[in-house]
Structures are given as structure tokens and as C-alpha cells.
Structure 1
Amino acid sequence: MGLLTKGQALTWKETQKRAQYIREHGVEQFINNFKKVKDRRNDCLKWGDEVEFMMVRFDHKNKKAQLLLKAHKILPILMEPENENPDDCQTFWRPEYADYMIEGTPGKPYGHLPSHFNLVEANMKLRRRQGQELLDKDEYVISTSAFPRNGCAEYTFPTYTPHPTTSASASLFFPDEAIFPEHPRFQTLTRNIRERRRAKVAINVPIFIDKNTPRPFKEDLSVYGGDNGASEAASLNDCIYMDAMGFGMGCCCLQVTFQAQSIEEARFLYDQLTPLTPIMLALSAACPIWRGYLADVDCRWNILSAATDDRTEEERGLEPLKNNSFQIPKSRYSSIDCYISPESAKFNDIEVVQDKDAFHRLTSNGIDHLLAQHIAHLFIRDTLVLFEEKIELNDEEDTEHFENINSTNWQSMRFKLPPVNSNIGWRVEFRPTEVDENMQFAQQRDAVKNQKFHFRKTLATGQTPETPSMASMKKPLFDNTESDCEHRLMSVDEIINGSDQFVGLLRIVQDYLNNIEIDADTRCTINQYLNLINKRAAGTLLTNAAWMRQFVQSHSQYKHDSIVTEEITYDLLWKMQKISAGEDECQLVLPRMASKTSLDIPRAVERAGNELETKRSLLLNPTQNNDKTPED
């Protein structure tokens, strides 16, 4: 969702004039806050998820499914409990990019107890139920990444006509009315990305070539009119063309944020999770249909990247640098470009484009070169949204300018500074992808079954047995000693489930579970989740994308021409709704599960965990106030 500051949003011309000012003060704010929190230690593990849902209206008589533009109406109601009593609230709600999207998070972060794993599913169900209760007949909250006919005729309810000559995105397909209207951030982002780029975004997704697909496939975009041939020039043969930020940011996703006990642990965790992000992307593939066409990819990552690409032609290397300072290889929505922990420094073997002035300012204030490089790399970007009331700030007490740029670098991992005057510690946000090749492999059709990924050959070290107990490991999961740095191409099945040559991540998880105290209900729930992951990785269960593709291709109305009609979309989404409501089954994707998830954990378990955490905190920091609770 990003930084949801309110106020009077400036135009791009006004924002651009202040871009350097924001960069300089953003770096200064980081330095000032870093000095205050760099020695912060002993924060306990806390973590939480963000889930974005979309709302869909079904017209059963005409067999039509449309995105429901209703977030601006129901979000104020969903947010009432938080506004009235934020300390005793099971869910929090926030707006997202589109007016058909709502984002829910748990009201409190989950903690270090294994039992907290048993809360997640129940809380997700609660969030979905809370949203559903506010909708009318034939309106539903649905968990899926991309609406199959986003951008087609009459794909929203109410229906609006795009106005490419006057809208924020200048899109032929995506009307401004589909953007969430109650916060200026979203339309301002859309307009400013386009104006900074000096052209609207261009998204070309390879189309799936079926036996009746025209060759070459090329839409006649002139029938839409309104952009003086810009779309015709930007669209590529055998590709599905899209032209608005809403095709990317209008997708729904999930992110997970972890609080570490210190900055060192957060940096280490950032690097350790990075190689797993493309594997998770392949396992969670769910986007095979775009603008009413079957695509030859299963994921949304490249679409999001192109939808937020504000680079000029100079920055993209299409023209010599004249008005811009850098050639930038990737969109601001991309995989990470450098590791940030000392243990992984040897793997930073590509040039990282960075603001040299920012790097010098950071290092001259005692920030090590790895972290300085990371921040200086983020700060090659301009701020995209600036509010008139938030320009002149106290750099000693505020981090708004830093967060403004940090939160609009949408990378596969995000490193988060503790907020000013907060009890929140150092955090990392897991946003599935990494190695650029792995990122591309992960998006291919049926990547779980057909692709191989660069991965470490061994997770064990000389001091660790082949199936290590995580509780007794002397070295990290991905050790960086010279003898253990070799990698090879592996399938997702090998990485997750193991083979004769590789231990497999699930074996390590199971070994860890066998060596900790965990209640029976939680173990039962986790085992079912691990079984699902095992079968998905092995290919015995389909990804959502593979199932959706199979559904379309076997539909009686599909003409094998790559077109996903309104009726096919209706039948597909209605089937998904019935499965999610428990009214239908889909054994190809989801086995029968009876997890023991609950909104509460046993009191005895929670009390024991709190006592353990208090003792731990006192041992690590004996001078702290004895009355201070772990939650403080």
C-alpha cells in the first residue's frame, strides 16, 4: 500500500523541482534515525501478513462477472473498530490502488510462539468474512491475483468509459474511475509516472499461441482512438498490450513482514530470504489471463514492473544522458540488485547504480559501505508523490522524505528502518524474487514442473549434519563459506522436497519442528500446509495458474484462439467462489484439509511464552525497566 500521507498533492512539475531536495533530506533523515536506532537490540520476533482482496459482482442472468467499485464505501465501515479501539481489534483495513480492492492485516502482529502459526488462516478467513458481510446480493470478496478481463469492455460495475486524452494514465482501457478515489496518492502516482516517463507505460505480455490464434497476433488498437497512435507504436507482435499502472497495481497480492532482534539480524534475514523469493513466485503462480487473453506466462511480476516503469528514454539507455543523471537497468518495481549483510558481500558481483553524493554522505556518517550502497541505490529514483504540507520537515524527528522514496522502490525484498519514536524494530518485508534469471524462470508457464533454478548445492556445512536441527545449527541456512557457495540448476521439487544430492527445505523445516515444543493443534495445521507445499512442488497438485489455464482450454465456449470470453470468465470466477466458500471442491489444486486453525491460542501456551520472553529480555538487557512487558 505504501506511504498513505494525506494533503494537497503537487503536480509532477512541482514535484520534480523538489526532487533533489527530497533526496538530500531523505538521506539526512535516514542518517539521523540510524544513529538513534543502530544499537537497538533484543526485539522479539513479530511478523504479519498483508492480503489484498478484490470484489466481484456476478450477473447470473447474463453470465457476466465485473469488478465491483465499492472500496470507498465499505472501507470506512471496516475501519471503524480500529478507529474506536485500535488496541483491541482483530483486523486492520487499508485502501489499495483500485476501488475494487481492499487490504486486510491482522490487528496485532503474530509473535515468536509456534502457536501463532495456528492463528493465520483463521484471521485471513475472518478478514474475508468481514468484507463479505458488507456486500450486497451477488457481490463477493475473492482472493485471486488478476481479474481475467481487466481492461475489457464493461469490466467494472458501475461501468465507465476510458478517456485517454484527459485521464491520469491516458489509457485506452483502464478508466480513472477504477482507481481508489478517496486518497490522492493513487491517481497522483499514475499521472506522475506517466509524466516523468514522458510517455504512458507500455506492457507487452507474450500471448499463448493456440491452434486458432492468428499469427502474428496483433490487435488493431486504432479502433480505441484517442492516443495519436502511441499504443500502436508501443504494442509488439504476439503480445497482449496494456497501457496503465492499473494493470499492475490493480493486481492483488500478499506480503509478509518480519521484525528482527537487531539491525544485523534484519540485514542477514534480508539476504537469506532473497534466494527463496523466485521459488515462492513459481509455487504461487496465479495469473495466466490478461485483458481477456490467455498469456504464455503464469505470474504478474513483469507486468507490475512495466506498469510502474517511470524511466525516461535516457534512463533506459535509448538516448544519451542529457537531462538525467543515470542509466538505470530496471524499473523501480524489480528484483533487488545487491545484498546488504557482510556475510553475503562476496556475491555483489554486478555494478550497482547509485547516487555517489548520497553514498559519500552516508559513509562519512559512519554507515558501512554495504548499507550505504543499498540506500544510495534506492535514491537514484525521484519521489513520485509529494504533498504540499509535507515538504518542510524536521529531519531530526521525521522520516517522511526517506520513506517516500523507500516505499516507492517496490523490490522483491524491502529493508525497513524502525519508525521514529516507536516500539517497532528493524524489519524486512518479503515480496516475491531474486536472481534475475530465476525471476524470469519463475514466471514461465508451468514453471514448477518445467523450469530449473540456480540454487545452492548444499545447505549443510562442515559443522552441521545433512539433516540439521535448526535449534542446534552453528551456521546459517545458506552458509557463505567458500566451500559451500557452489550452485547448480534444480527443479522446485528438488529445492523443496530434496533429492539424493540435496537435503530439501521441507526436511529442514520438519527437523526443526521435531526439536521444539509445539502443541498438537498447531502441529496438525502446519503439517497440512507442508503437505500442500510438498505436493505443489512435486507437481502432483496444480498451481492456480495451471488450473485456470486448464479450465479455460476445456470450456465448451473456448475456440482455441487464446480469447477468454465474458462467459468463460464468469464460469471460472463463479467456480472459484464456490470452491472458496466450501460449496465445491478442486482436488487438482487443493486437497481436503481440516486444519485446526483458531483465532486464539491456548492461555497456558501464551502465558508460558510470555514468561520465557520476559526472562530472555532480562538476561539480554538486565538494566531495562523490570515493569516493561515484551509487547512494549
Structure 2
Amino acid sequence: MGLLSQGSPLNWEETRKHADYIRKHGILQFLNIYNKVKDRQKDVLKWGDEVEYMLVELDDKDEKVRLVLNGGDVLETLQEQGENINPNHPTLWRPEYGSYMIEGTPGQPYGGTMSEFNTVEGNMGKRRREASSVLNKNETLCTITSFPRLGCPGFTRPEHRPTPVEKGVSKSLFFPDEAINQHPRFSTLTRNIRHRRGEKVCINVPIFKDKRTPSPFVEEFPEDDGEGAQAALPDHIYMDCMGFGMGNCCLQVTFQACSIDEARYLYDQLATFCPIVMALSAASPFYRGFVSDIDCRWGVISASVDDRTQEERGLKPLKNNKFRIFKSRYDSIDSYLSSCSEKYNDIDLTKDEEIYKQLLGAGIDKLLAQHIAHLFIRDPLSVFEEKIHLDDENESDHFENLQSTNWQTMRFKPPPPNSDIGWRVEFRPMEVQLTDFENAAYVVFVVLLTRVILSYKLDFVIPLSKVDENMKVAQKRNAVQESMFYFRKDIFKGCNPGLDGTASAQNGLETDGGNEEYTLMSIDTIINGKEGVFQGLIPILNCYLENMEVDVDTRCTILNYLKLIKKRASGELMTMAKWMREFVAKHPQYKQDSVVSDKINYDLFRKCDRIAKGEEQCPELIGNPVNKHQALKTQESNSVK
């Protein structure tokens, strides 16, 4: 989760005093990095995934499932057994926001050969087995995006009460501070977001109205001082702290590009896919013990870290603040970075004009300068006393302080100082899936997309305002099947040379009398294609694979993954969100009142755990893939017997 410094964290009043200093030196650090590596070329393709996990206890006696707050101990054990004794260990483990969460990545990045796709699922399986091996009896490791009863009484083990009125970090009505990772960065972020905003964060998610859901749905909060009652909307599930967003799990992929120009091009192209892939990976329909009317976590996280004051949100005239800021610091991107995408930058971009002019004066081009000047309208949120005065030539903590707390759909990542790492982009909108097979499928799909975009010089860019509309639509219930998304019709007519304009006629993409560049499409059309509208991403990927030298084993693996994506897009297979909804709706104890009880949650997690471990099939969610790694494991265990 970004920069993790050690030391003495400052409260908001102290942090605010240092904000200008940190911004000033953050820009100097960026310029030093940029000037050293701006002309760097020919970095090889490397990439890696990040999977976030929840630690849960399945209490068979009480038929309850709880989040286990021992992530710190589990993490320490995994690091001691792995990277601390072997720098080439195949897995790496890192802390995450929740004290019930850990994050696992491959020990080394994957390379540019197609055969690397064969190892992704195996490495994810290794991570799952490695972490599971250090858990206690009745505990298990889950890749579930949002814990359905997060914030309900007794949802943690050990149990802790929230502290809404006493001195605390979040002052939440529902989420105890003990559920936050003990590293000081996380509690400092939580407290300083609340203090900077001037009130608790406010998350309202529309409730799913079932036959017996109260109408209007209005809750009363016993320990509320009035703030909750005022902030909670009728017919919405109300949440009030960072943990409800950052306490969710996700799946991310980072790519190293061969140069800064390629990284900027990939950043723009992948930004248009963020809402599409988010809807395809939808996996979070339940919040605080209720069935919601959304399928994705994005808006919840966005609201959970929204530190903007009332002035910055446009609720009061600007007096104490400099900027009217249109989005939370966790949201979709606000500007493209490549010159050929510039004309599609059609949304208001608030930027620090002084920083912008400074960057231009230092030789940074307009698009990159405004991107950085936009990130730097924010304040630093987590500052450590020991890390204020730094060597700007050789350190980048001040730059990263703001870079890593602008949590956008895409992240453009300059190389760390004095490292052999190149320019990178991070793809951040995906929801984590139940099984290693699914997570590997989504990762391989996105990595393959980058290969095709670069090989064929494709152009998927549309106006950013349309990408923002797509982001809103993507979170709706069953958006995969029921929603339409703006998407570019002719992907071969961008500013990139490499394919001539005849491609458009060959693909049956005649322009219509309306907008010539983009139109509304279903996800099925975008992924699988529709004659006369769009050729489809899967057919393009298949074409790419046919032109590459790919061994049979790897081809089988890739086609298995693409089959999952294809069938999720067509509706032949359910998204995780839809599957979970159906499980709850059919549960004998569900009262059609939008409530996910302890017993329903327990039964759901029991089933999820068996599916994730390969002990139970789930064809409606996953289909019937040929899981070679599972077959290999079976083969090994049979030979042992």
C-alpha cells in the first residue's frame, strides 16, 4: 500500500505545518529522478501482480466467521521463513491496511516471454499454501473483496468494540481501531484524513430493496452523537471510516515499460479499460451485513479516504483552502499523458499553478507537468518526524508521500532513485477473485492486452468524461449484463503509425453519422465482438497468439483464462458478485430483508473456502477449466501414497 516509513508520525496540525516543505522537496525529488532517467530506453518488459488476502476464522460451533486480527504476526513469520533467509524466495509478503489483511506478490517480476503466463497461477497457489501453513486451526486465507459483515458487532477475533466517543483513530460507530494495521502509517492516515476533512468520512451505499426490506430503510445508531444520523441517507447503508474502503481486498498489476514514452502510452490506453475490467471482476455486493445495490468497492473506497474539506467539495465558498477539488484522492485519473491523447482531456483539471510553472521551467512537457501539478494539490497525510529533512538527490520519500496517496485507477510510476527499475504503470481497478485460477486469468488478460496494444499500436482512448461515466456505470448491480459502456469503435485509427487506415474497412467498422470515434457497447460486444460494431478483444488476442510462437502448454493455459473472461462477459458464467447474491437469495435463512446474517455469512465462507481450495467445483462461477496445477498436485499426492 505505497510508502511505508518507520518513525514517529506527526498529527495533522504538525503535518500541515510541513505540507509546503514536503511538496516543494517532492517536486525537487521528482525533477532529480526525471533528469537522470528521462532518456532511458530498452528496459525489458517485466510485470508482477499483487493479491490481497483476508485472514478469517470459521467458528463451526457458533456458525460464525470472523476476521482474525493477527496479520502482523502472520506477516512476520512469512518474511522470516522466506525473503529474510533467501533473497530469491518465490514469494514476497507485505502489510495491508487491515490487521486481518496481508498482501502477497511474486518474489521476482515476471519477464517478457509467453511461457511466463504458465507460472502465474502456480505462484499464486504457492502464496496461498505458504500463508495457510502458518495459520491456526479453523483459520483460513480468503481472497474475497469485501467481508460481508465488516463493521457488524463481533466481526473480529479477538472481539473489540468501536470507540466513537473516546479518544481514538477513526471514532467509528462500527469499526474498532484494533482492526487497523499496527504500523503507524495506517492509523496516522486514518486520523489525519478525519482531521483534515473536519469531520468523519461519509460513505452511503444504496441498499438493495428486496420484498421485505423496510421502506424507507432508515437505521438508528445507539452511540451516535448526531453526526451519523445527519450523514446517513435513507435507503442507504451508512459507513463512517477509512477501514470500510481500505479494509477491502483487490488485485493489481504493475508493468515496466521500455521507456517513459511507452509508459505514458500504456497509462492512457489502460485507463479506458479500468471500468470495463472492474465490471468484469465485480465481487463486492455486501456491506456492513446488508445486501447493497452495487457490485464493486470502488466508490466505497473513494469515499472512505475523501479528506476534502467542505470548501474543497464546493459546499462552502473557498476561504481557508486554495482549490475546489472535484474528486476524492482515490478515484479515476484526471488527465491523459500522451500527446496523441491530449485532445481527449475534457474534464476540469485542478492543478497547482506555481508547481506547474516550475515544472515547465525545468523542461517538463505540458502533459506530464499538469499531471504532477494535479497530484500535488493534495496535502501529505502521513509524515514522520525523522523523515522530513532528506537528500533530494538520492531519496524520493517526499515525492512518494503524495504520489502514493493519490490512489487512482492507473498510477504512473517513475523509477526509484539509483535503481535498475524502469518507468512503470500500475493497473488498479480489479476486484480480487475467489480462486487462484480466476485471479491468474484476469492478470494474464490484462498483461496480454498490453502486449497487443504495443504490438499493434492500438488506440482505445476516448474522452475522459466518458471514462468517468463508465466508472459510475461499472459499479452498478450486474453491470456486465445490463449496462452499456462508451468504447472506441475503430482502434486502428489512432495517432500511432504501424497500421494503415484500411484496417477499419476490413473490420466492418464503417463510421456512422453521429460521433465517429466511440459509441455505447455492452461488455459482451467489447470482449467478444459483434459484427459491424466492434471486432472484440478476445478475437484480437487470439489473432495475436496465432502470430506468436507459443508452446502447446502455454497456449492451453492462456486459452483457459480467456475462456473464463469470454464467458463472464457473455453472461454464461456469473461474476463473483452475482454468484454471492444468488447464494444469499437462496439461503434457507434469508428473509428477503437485505440482511446477511452471521449464519448466512458462515455458510457462504464455508463454501468459498472449499471452492478456493479445490475441494468443491463451482461450474456456474468458473466453468470447467483444465487446471493443470491441480492435476499436478493430485499426481504428486498419488505418487506419495
8 Å Cα contact 2:83/2:89 also seen in 1: no
- Aligned counterparts, 1:75-94, within 5 A: 75-94=75-94
> Which of 337, 341, 356 pairs up with 1:340?
337
Aligned-partner SS, 2:611: helix
2:267 corresponding residue in structure 1? 270
Matches within 5 A, 1:233-252: 233-252=230-249
Contact 1:305-1:334 within 8 A present in 2 as well: yes
**How many Å apart are 1:599 and its aligned residue?**
14
Residue by residue over 1:528-587, the C-alpha shift from the partner in whole angstroms, topping out at 9 and shown as x without a partner, is 000011100001100000010011111110111111111000011111111111111211
Query: In the alignment, what sits opposite 2:446?
Result: none
Measured in 2, the distance between the counterparts of 1:371 and 1:425 equals 17
Residue in structure 1 matched with residue 587 of structure 2 by the alignment: 555
**What secondary structure is seen at the aligned counterpart in 1 of 2:485?**
strand
Aligned to 1:219: 219
Q: How has the CA–CA distance of structure 1 residues 117 and 97 changed in structure 2, closer, same or farther, with 3 Å as cutoff?
A: same
Question: Could you tell me which amino acid in structure 1 is paired with residue 113 of structure 2?
Answer: L
Deviations 1:305-353 (A, max 9, x none): 0000000000000111111000101100000010001110110122210
Aligned counterparts of 1:243 and 1:130: Cα–Cα separation in 2: 34
Deviations along 1:406-428, one digit per CA (max 9) or x if unpaired, are: 00000000000101010000000
Counterpart of 1:567, as a letter, is K
| C-alpha distance in structure 2 between counterparts of 1:358 and 1:129, whole Å | 48
Deviations 1:219-275 (A, max 9, x none): 011x1x1x4211110000000000010000000001100000000000001001111
Partner of 1:151: 151
AA aligned opposite 1:162? P
* Match of residue 449 from structure 1: 481
Contact 2:83–2:92 (CA under 8 A) maintained in structure 1: no
Distance 1:588 1:516 in 2: 32
What's 1:427 paired with?
Answer: 424
Q: 1:380 aligns with which of 361, 377, 380?
A: 377
Supply the distance in 2 between the matched residues of 1:24 and 1:274 (Cα, whole angstroms): 28
Alignment-mate amino acid for residue 122 of structure 1: G
Once the two structures are superposed, what CA deviation does each residue of 1:260-296 show, in whole Å capped at 9, x if it has no partner? 0000000001001111110000000001100000000
Which residue is 1:16 aligned to?
16
Residues matched between the structures, number: 585
Give the match for residue 591 of structure 1: 623
The superposition leaves residues 495-524 of structure 1 with CA deviations (integer Å, 9 ceiling, x where unpaired) of 000001211011110001000111111110
TM-score of the superposition, structure 1-length normalised?
0.90
1:496 aligns with 2:527: yes
Partner of residue 500 from structure 2, selected from 454, 460, 463: 463
Percent of paired sites with the same residue = 56
| Counterpart residue number, 2:26 | 26
| Paired letter, 1:185 | R
Secondary structure in 1 matching 2:355:
helix
Give the equivalent residue in structure 2 for 1:351: 348
User: How big is each residue's C-alpha offset from its partner over 1:352-403, in whole Å with a ceiling of 9 and x where there is no partner?
Assistant: 1000011011000000000000000000000000001110111112111001
Q: Give, in angstroms, the shift of residue 595 of structure 1.
A: 3.6
Q: Does 1:367 align with 2:364?
A: yes
Q: Partner of 2:173 in structure 1?
A: 172
One-letter identity of the residue aligned with 2:264: R
TM value normalised by structure 2: 0.89
More off after superposition, 342-351 vs 433-442 = 433-442
Deviations 1:452-493 (A, max 9, x none): 000001223471665999xxxxxxxx9xxxx99610000000
Mark the runs of 5 or more structure 2 residues left unpaired by the alignment. 431-463, 494-498, 633-641
Task: Output the amino acid matched with 1:561.
Answer: D
**In structure 2, distance between residues paired with 1:518 and 1:411:** 34
2:318 aligned with 1:318:
no
2:517 is aligned to: 486
Please tell me the residue identity of whatever aligns with 1:127. Answer: R
Please report the RMSD computed on the Cα atoms of aligned residues, expressed in angstroms: 2.0
Q: Measure, in 1, the Cα distance between the counterparts of 2:359 and 2:336.
A: 17
Matched, 1:417 2:414: yes
- The Cα of 1:62 is off from its aligned counterpart by 1.3
Equivalent residues of 1:557, 1:568 under 8 A apart: yes
| 1:163 counterpart SS class | coil
State the match for 1:229 in structure 2: 226
Separation in 2 of the partners of 1:256 and 1:151? 29
Distance 2:85 2:344 in 1: 47
State the Cα distance separating 1:149 from its structure 2 match.
0.2
3-state DSSP of counterpart to 1:523: helix
Distance in 1 separating the partners of 2:588 and 2:88: 51
Partners of 1:200 and 1:442 in 2: CA distance: 27
Match of 2:54 in 1: 54
1:194 aligned partner: 194
Corresponding residue of 2:291:
294
Shift of 1:24: 0.9
Counterpart Cα distance in 2 of 1:259 and 1:490: 31
